[in-house]
Structure 1
């Protein structure tokens, strides 16, 4: 399959299945002063989750938000069972979804931004 077609399919997949608004993940006013490549992420400890079919449902107990993650979001969530960097997450996603790395980094960064905003993941100090 043509790499451009794969990239467009992946972008379309993420857009169809995203329910978040975009924020700036690496805003130096609100985030730790780490480069995007070394920033580490993990699941928020207050989030309760369960897998139903091929999707993961989340409940953020502090904000009472209930979310259902699509296949891509579920893969990211599962990767964050251990503390991961953006590059580590994209290594897993590129292998699983056969997507171009630059697209994966851009779209995963957007997902992480939104997840931080929803308090379902946190950044970890090194």
Structure 2
């Protein structure tokens, strides 16, 4: 009886893990490229893959990108707000198949150049 119970628990865990949606995750990306890509399995509370974009209204040209798992309430939404007095607009686009939000990696030399340019632009703007 005890063996049957443990076998049933193992089957439920295996089925739950197999059903989890797999998404590309990117905490930050610049120029449409992910800086540190990874793959994650989404939880039931965030059942969609997403691609997000944030743009600071004052600069207009600098867009930051994110990817990962997202709650359905935020899918296909646009949000506006401010950080340290700088206005921004963020939008989220969702999909629901494995790795449907595919990201590509950015190589280190271009990453360093892009990050430096972004920091200089932000420092100049915040003066």
Give me the TM-score of the superposition, normalised by structure 1.
Answer: 0.24
Give me the TM-score of the superposition, normalised by structure 2.
Answer: 0.23
More strand, by proportion: 2
More helix, by proportion: 1
The structure that has the greater radius of gyration is 2
